[in-house]
Copies of this chain bind each other. A is one copy, B any other.
Amino acid sequence: MPQEASPHIVRSYEGELRRLREMIARMGGLAERQVADSAQALIRRDTDLAAEVVRRDAELDQMEREVEQFCVRLLALRQPMAADLRLIIAAMKISSDLERIGDYARNGAKRAIVVAQQSLISSLNGFERMSELVQENLRSAIDALVEEDAEKADEVWRSDEPIDGIYNGIFRELLTFMMEDPRNITAATHLLFIAKNMERIGDHATNIAERVHFVVRGEQVTADRPKGDDSASAVAGAPR
Interface residues of A (CB under 8 A from B): 65, 68, 71-72, 75-76, 79, 81-82, 85-86, 89, 92-93, 96, 107, 110-111, 113-114, 117-118, 175, 178-180, 182, 185-186, 189-190, 192-193, 196, 220, 232-237
- Of the A-B pairs whose beta carbons lie under 8 Å apart in the complex, a sample of 15, sorted by A's number, is A65-B220, A68-B89, A72-B85, A75-B85, A76-B82, A89-B92, A107-B232, A113-B233, A117-B235, A179-B185, A180-B182, A186-B234, A186-B235, A189-B192, A193-B232
Contacts of A186 in B (CB 8 A): 175, 234-237
How many copies of this protein are present in the complex? 2
Known: A75-B75, A96-B96, A233-B114. A182 touches B178 (CB 8 A): yes
Listed residue (A111, A189, A190) with the most chain B CB atoms within 10 angstroms of its CB: A189
Complexed CA–CA distance, A118 and B235 (Å): 9
Complexed CA–CA distance, A192 and B189 (Å): 9
Q: Is the CB of B72 within 8 A of A76?
A: no
Contacts of A65 in B (CB 8 A): 220
Contacts of A86 in B (CB 8 A): 72
Nearest to A229 among chain B residues (CB) is B107
Contacts of A190 in B (CB 8 A): 232
Known: A178-B178, A182-B182, A235-B114. A85 touches B92 (CB 8 A): no
